Structure 1
Amino acid sequence: MFYAHSLPDEGKSRWQTLESHLSTVAKLAAERADRFDAGPWGEAAGLLHDLGKYTAPFQRRLEGSPERVDHSTAGAHIAIEKYSQLGHLLAYLIAGHHAGLANGRDIGERTPLQSRLEADLPPLDTVWQQEITLPRNLLPPAHFQQHRDRAFFQYAFLARMLFSCLVDADFVDTEAFYAVHEKGVPHARGGGPPLEVLRDALDKRLATFKADSDVNRLRGEILSHVRAQAELPPGRFSLTVPTGGGKTLASLAFALDHAIAHGMDRVIYVIPFTSIVEQNAAVFRDALGEHGEAAVLEHHSAFDGGNQRDRHSIDKLRRDSENWDAPIIVTTAVQFFESLFAAKTSRCRKLHNIAGSVVILDEAQTMPLPLLRPSVAALDELALNYRASVVLCTATQPALAETDDPERSFQGGFRGMRELAKCPNKLYRDLKRVSVRHIGTLGDETLRDELLATEQVLCIVNNRRHARALFESIADQPGAYHLTTSMYAVHRRRVLAEIRQVLEAGQPCRVISTSLIEAGVDVDFPRVLRAEAGLDSIAQAAGRCNREGRRNASDSEVAIFATGNDDWEPPPELKKFAQVTREALRHHGDDPLSLAAIEAYFRLLYWQQGPQELDKHGLLKLVEDGRIEGLPFDTLEQKFRMIENNQRAVIIPIDKDGIARAALKELAYAEGVGGIARKLQPYTVQVPQQGFTVLERVGAIAAVEPDKFGEQFMMLVNEDLYDEWLGLNWSEPTFMKAENLTW
């Protein structure tokens, strides 16, 4: 008898047999792969993944032997022998079902699949051939459509999807075996209200909205028209609705209707910023009433499951986050896209549940340019071969459609894109709330005068140093406020709450901010000043002007300006965006935020960048050149980084609510720190490595419990460096230049 898993201090009669484990994993993996017509592939992967356990050394290991045994590569060998070239796809995921997907050939640091296949392995006992029966043939899924320009990208994508099916099935069966032994029942997973129940709950909430103003009537018309498109076949969609048009709930309503109409399983809402994830998840929970908590899974780095009622709920939330087994997922673009290019088991495990889903990409224009082509290729592949519908939801559509007109086509973009909104140009005119003009180049004094000329004004600039200097120049004036990422998130939220109160009261309110305020922050100013940037950023800034539509558009100005002080120059990539904006405005200066202007801006931007700059690391070419035997899975994961993060987190324990200080004290006796880290995350400031080094060198920051956690938790100990108005200061020129720094 051969076994897959042992139990300490239990006889072998209680152990899990290898035949049972392989057959169960095969069944579970096949069920998951059936979501995209690849059930036989899932079955074969499940049957082969632990084939190396049919060896004497592995069985001795289960009995307590310390010897290490490679139990994964044997199944990869059999896959290649049995299924010819396409069996090589199976070999990647079978060999990597614990360690992760490796490169096919030696182009990275980890051991490639090729080297593993050449290593000596213990012989398999032939009993495996009596205990398992492999599917005869493996062909690409019946509906699999080949894209002429990215065939091997598609095979790599298929391998990653099958990998998700295998590792999730393996985890679930292994977890169930041990849970039944310990508790008598497997852990609770998945579930949640059916989509039909959620739609009914949403309908009930939407029925309470009143068409008591022109804007509310228009929101109702947008909602009705968008929902009427739900019967359209799954595929690629755009939803172009201006700020204030109600696109958040309209897109959710469409997604539920569309998923129900086509037998799809879940809605995945992909949002660019963590702060908006939290905001939208709260909106969805509220809109779904009593079902909101059970239906909406919020998955991002800062989410704290500790607000759940009990340990059982927290544990189930963690398990559902592992494979996105919930009706509505709200996540970040970083989590979503990096998972699509991941190689690690933990990141890939959710991928099969993206198949057969409605994916709403909110603020679609924020996809980073250096990764735009591979990002679009991945989204397109989901719609092409994985029964997903992809909706690009934004007021500023990023011109990603591939058409037969070479002057208006995005190479490798979305074919057959369908617009869900009725007459987007008319919607733009009907919801127009601001006037936009370029007011030229402003020096520091002139910009200060512009701020003081209006009692309520928001000024958005491109870097923290400029924001700080500008705030200090008006700090003695009534209603001066400053917002920057140098403040920890809870501090920023507190300042924003005060700003809203002051605005509502009609008192002086002059806010200097970096672009962070453009990320879905609900504020309403009569005038906004915006330093030159991309036209999409300017449109986001305009969403903070006359947001509630209480004033005439002609009385609500968004003024674009160039900075006259070279000290405040934006980084090179932002200068490119500003340059393209200036070119677009030459042709659309009379209405800079019109849909025609936005389309011209993105086409100019993509044309100036060129195909290479839209795939900075050449990932698509790397995959195509690798072919089946050389697919670069590990390299893709290393290179596909939406945020090039060379910053370090510093915990600011100067919180009025005492949460950060209490969490830091917990570290002294903590074993697992995931929950504590989530509590601390809103009390951190991200500091560039250079500034972090300076703070560390002069003793301004120190590690908390360094013997246990190293430098994982770095806390500000010189609290004089954190200012209530300016946030954390790490870059005073005198500090940076001094040879022997003192504070």
Structure 2
Amino acid sequence: MDKPPLSAYYAHTGNRPDGQDWQPLKDHLTSVAQLAQTRAQAFGAEDWAHLVGLLHDLGKYSQAFQKRLQGSNERADHATAGAKVVVDHIVEIMGPQFLPLGKLLAFAIAGHHTGLANGIDEGQERSNLKQRLALEFGKNLPVLDELWRQEIELPKTLRIPAFKPHFPQGKYTNFGLMFFARMLFSCLIDADRIDTKNHARSTDGKAPLATNFPNIAILQVQLGQHLQQLAKGAKQTDVNVLRQHILTHARQQAIKPRGSGLYSLTVPTGGGKTLTSLAFGLDHAVQHQLRRVIYVIPFTSIIEQTADVFRKAMGDHKDAVLEHHSAFDREKLPEEIKTTSKPRQADYRDKMRLTMESWDAPIVVTTAVQFFESLFSDRTTQCRKLHNIAGSVIVLDEAQTLPLKLLRPIMASIDELALNYGCSVVLCTATQPALKDSDEFHNGFSRVQEIAPNPKEIFEKLRRAEVQDLGVQSDVQLVAHLRSYTQVLMIVNNRRHARELFDGIANEDGAYHLTTSMCAEHRSEKLTEIRQRLKDGLACRLVATSLIEAGVDVDFPTVYRAEAGLDSIAQAAGRCNREGRRLLADSQVYIFQSPDWKAPPELAQLAAPMRSILRNHEGDVLAPEALKSYFQQVYYAKGADLDQHQILNKIRITEGCDFPFQDIARDFRMIDSHMLPIIVPFDDVANDNLKLLRHLPENMSVGKIAQKLQRYVVQVPERAFVQLLKLGAVAVVAPEKFGNQFYELVAQSLYSPIAGLNFSDPVAMSAEAAVF
């Protein structure tokens, strides 16, 4: 017998020609149901996830699909059958009033390969759920063999999870139902992918995948030991004593009752927020039996350094820290793995791939874009990990940077995670936004617990600079200011302005320029030089864009900042007298307005309330009460624009749970501009790895090379990318191997050792590319 008989039903094929290692469909459905049920335990929806798992591949009980397994090209929709049956079953056992809840399960089943669809409106790429449920067996769908009723036993009752209302007066009640559908979808996707992967491994003679991370209590002990070592090695300065006080106080709050599950850690720059928040997270997770700590960072430029700090703190358990910002991390092999057999190396990569896709790790470090876009996504790959967010401590670093246009939906998701999914959320910030009900923010967060000791007092003790408003300053005046100081930092709002100012001081001693037009390796080289000159007391005049505010550790005596939001001013002030070695009077932050370079519209809107604070607030304009007043003005002025695309309204007015999942995913984009990467051959390391990419050895992973090239990438807007490609200044690397995955800058004259890649001036780009 070459293939198994069509009288039997299978989910997946195997390696043996006689079909003895094919996976029986009943086994797959039962296994996925059990795995999905386990994943839903964290939010009390085991029955619902189990039912979704049982029915997700029901359409494989058809001759059409079984013929497809045996090599037929016949089309066989195997997802819609389960979606139709689950709706009918819910109505049968619970009554017609529960039809909307049946649809929530149908969304998950119908989309477990293609993604969540719209309920009734037309979407892109896939039919809406209404169209799918209208398909008929024997007409639009393959006929099901009634054998499924003998092999699969459906439950007669379902326990309804005890959801709390989302906002007062149930204003956004539907949000909770929409969120529940996503969580069920996540449980199903993860369970289905794991069972399918394990079947494939078994046919290859491999054991099922297991991550086997250390218990979170072990990590808590390890961090405690690391913090003790740091304290022993630190000098007993006033700042270090205060940092230790903040740490101790926060850890004491971790063991108190959860309450609302919402916390704030309000500590100014330099107060040790990073390790304090991790310590709180691990202590709190152990005390309240939570599963992991998820650390959400606003900027990709600092995620690696934060993850490295955590890995160092974890010592021998460093693999317990997952970075999710690069698909190449999974290719990393620890030293102890590199010398072992290839099968073990392959198992390690499979384990890391599973961890990356499902967030099955005790400590996850990710970006705000990855975290929140996943919560509103319609894609299987992004939604797979959502169930593992339940029962977690979530630390939102620099919470004030959350995009205003999506603030309301983001707040709704935070509230939902805390209310119904057992999460504790920490708003960790040096400039606490006014998002609480007590801040007169309508439908804001309620019962938020502060875990820092007396933020007002801490801010006063850690105050290191004075802020002054210079008013309007021409470029001539700004250049004069730069020349008048030996060590000075000037931050402006766009790359071209930074370059103009730098050109004005280029011949001065210690003149430097930093911009995102430089690759990361280039910026790192410059920062190393800058820090050393500052340390040695040498001349250092730096003109930069706001990238310098994203967690970059530099310490200038004088800082100039172009008008922006008060939170940006606070971040700029964090680069002034950072270590507290100078007197307050000798540490100045000057705010200026440029008549020649208008701020982008978004920043201009934030500058108005900032100016109001500068005019009307007595004392320290960066004190908590001043920042609170600033954010109140910003949020009041924005109003409905805090949900620019009316995402919450679309959810609220949806009837019968026909949620527009695709439309929501399309509208929830934290970054509007589409940026594309270009690899810059900046040094020998970049050139050597580009050569390897063109002539990839058989025993080398492309991911390993791509990881090294990450530090040589410059992200450019799509329009500029197209122009560079058209001019021949950029070329695809090894398209015969990788398609259009990698692009290299070949017109190297466009990359300046001073300013990085020139992509904003089409005339100059054309001229320089032509010379090349």
Q: TM-score range by the shorter chain?
A: over 0.9
Is 1:643 paired with 2:674? no
The within-5 A match list for 1:77-92 is 77-84=84-91, 85=99, 86-92=101-107
The residue aligned with 2:743 is 714
Q: Relative to structure 2, which stretch is displaced further, 89-98 or 193-202?
A: 193-202
Q: Deviations over 1:536-570 (max 9, x none)?
A: 011001111111111122211111111132xx212
Is 1:216 paired with 2:223? no
> Displacement, 1:413?
2.5
The within-5 A match list for 1:159-178 is 159-178=181-200
> Displacement, 1:140?
3.4
The partner residue of 1:184 within 206, 231, 247 is 206
Question: 2:297, 2:141 → 1: CA distance?
Answer: 46
TM-score by length of 1: 0.95
Secondary structure, aligned partner of 2:669: coil
The residue aligned with 1:99 is 114
Question: 1:674, 1:638 → 2: CA distance?
Answer: 29
Aligned AA (1:237): Y
Query: Contact (CA 8 Å) 2:724, 2:765: kept in 1 or not?
Result: no
Question: 2:487, 2:144 → 1: CA distance?
Answer: 77
Question: 1:91, 1:716 → 2: CA distance?
Answer: 48
Structure 1 residues 97 and 732 mapped into 2: Cα distance closer, same or farther (>3 Å)? closer
Question: 1:306, 1:60 → 2: CA distance?
Answer: 37
> Displacement, 1:660?
4.8
The within-5 A match list for 1:289-304 is 289-291=315-317, 293-301=318-326, 304=329
The within-5 A match list for 1:433-472 is 433-472=464-503
Secondary structure, aligned partner of 2:280: helix
Query: Contact (CA 8 Å) 2:121, 2:660: kept in 1 or not?
Result: no
The partner residue of 1:496 within 516, 527, 530 is 527
Query: Contact (CA 8 Å) 1:89, 1:628: kept in 2 or not?
Result: no
Aligned AA (1:644): D
Is 1:357 paired with 2:402? no
Structure 1 residues 436 and 181 mapped into 2: Cα distance closer, same or farther (>3 Å)? same
> Displacement, 1:697?
2.8
> Displacement, 1:629?
4.0
Is 1:336 paired with 2:371? yes
Question: 2:667, 2:734 → 1: CA distance?
Answer: 33
The partner residue of 2:411 within 365, 369, 376 is 376
Is 1:199 paired with 2:220? yes
Query: Contact (CA 8 Å) 2:758, 2:765: kept in 1 or not?
Result: no
Query: Contact (CA 8 Å) 2:693, 2:734: kept in 1 or not?
Result: no
The residue aligned with 1:662 is 689
Secondary structure, aligned partner of 1:400: coil
The residue aligned with 1:242 is 268
Query: Contact (CA 8 Å) 1:35, 1:356: kept in 2 or not?
Result: yes
The residue aligned with 1:597 is 626
Question: 1:459, 1:559 → 2: CA distance?
Answer: 9
Aligned AA (2:195): D
Structure 1's unaligned 5+ residue stretches are: none
The partner residue of 1:116 within 132, 147, 156 is 132
Q: Deviations over 1:577-628 (max 9, x none)?
A: 11121122222153210111100111100110112x1111111111122234
Q: Relative to structure 2, which stretch is displaced further, 465-474 or 228-237?
A: 228-237
Q: Deviations over 1:157-212 (max 9, x none)?
A: 0010111111101111111111011033123x322111111111111111121461
The residue aligned with 2:31 is 24
Is 1:230 paired with 2:258? no
TM-score by length of 2: 0.92
Q: Relative to structure 2, which stretch is displaced further, 464-473 or 685-694?
A: 685-694
Query: Contact (CA 8 Å) 2:165, 2:173: kept in 1 or not?
Result: no
Question: 2:300, 2:149 → 1: CA distance?
Answer: 50
> Displacement, 1:726?
1.1
Secondary structure, aligned partner of 1:390: strand
Query: Contact (CA 8 Å) 1:660, 1:680: kept in 2 or not?
Result: no
Query: Contact (CA 8 Å) 1:437, 1:589: kept in 2 or not?
Result: no
Q: Deviations over 1:485-525 (max 9, x none)?
A: 11011100111011111111110000000000000001111
Secondary structure, aligned partner of 2:437: coil
Query: Contact (CA 8 Å) 1:274, 1:302: kept in 2 or not?
Result: no
Q: Deviations over 1:203-233 (max 9, x none)?
A: 1111121461111111111111111111233
Q: Deviations over 1:119-168 (max 9, x none)?
A: 22122212211212222233531354454011211111001011111110
Query: Contact (CA 8 Å) 2:466, 2:588: kept in 1 or not?
Result: yes
The within-5 A match list for 1:15-94 is 15-84=22-91, 85=99, 86-94=101-109
Question: 1:166, 1:226 → 2: CA distance?
Answer: 37
Q: Deviations over 1:57-96 (max 9, x none)?
A: 1122222222111111111111111113111100000011
The residue aligned with 1:621 is 649
Query: Contact (CA 8 Å) 2:729, 2:769: kept in 1 or not?
Result: no
The residue aligned with 1:538 is 569
The partner residue of 1:126 within 134, 146, 151 is 146
Aligned AA (1:241): V
The residue aligned with 2:171 is 149
Structure 1 residues 232 and 10 mapped into 2: Cα distance closer, same or farther (>3 Å)? farther
Aligned AA (2:386): L
The partner residue of 2:518 within 487, 502, 505 is 487
> Displacement, 1:452?
1.3
The residue aligned with 1:556 is 587
Question: 1:218, 1:272 → 2: CA distance?
Answer: 26
Count of aligned pairs: 733
The residue aligned with 1:653 is 681
The residue aligned with 2:506 is 475
The residue aligned with 2:661 is 633
The partner residue of 1:579 within 608, 613, 620 is 608
Aligned AA (1:622): K
Aligned AA (1:713): F
Aligned AA (1:697): K
Question: 1:335, 1:16 → 2: CA distance?
Answer: 34
The residue aligned with 2:3 is none
The residue aligned with 2:342 is none
Question: 1:5, 1:99 → 2: CA distance?
Answer: 18
The within-5 A match list for 1:133-144 is 133-144=153-164
The partner residue of 2:287 within 240, 261, 270 is 261
Structure 1 residues 739 and 470 mapped into 2: Cα distance closer, same or farther (>3 Å)? closer
The residue aligned with 1:366 is 401
Structure 2's unaligned 5+ residue stretches are: 1-7, 92-98, 339-344
Query: Contact (CA 8 Å) 2:749, 2:768: kept in 1 or not?
Result: no
Secondary structure, aligned partner of 2:471: strand
Q: Deviations over 1:260-314 (max 9, x none)?
A: 11111100000011121111111111112222x2211111037534442343433
Q: Deviations over 1:406-426 (max 9, x none)?
A: xx3323331211111111000
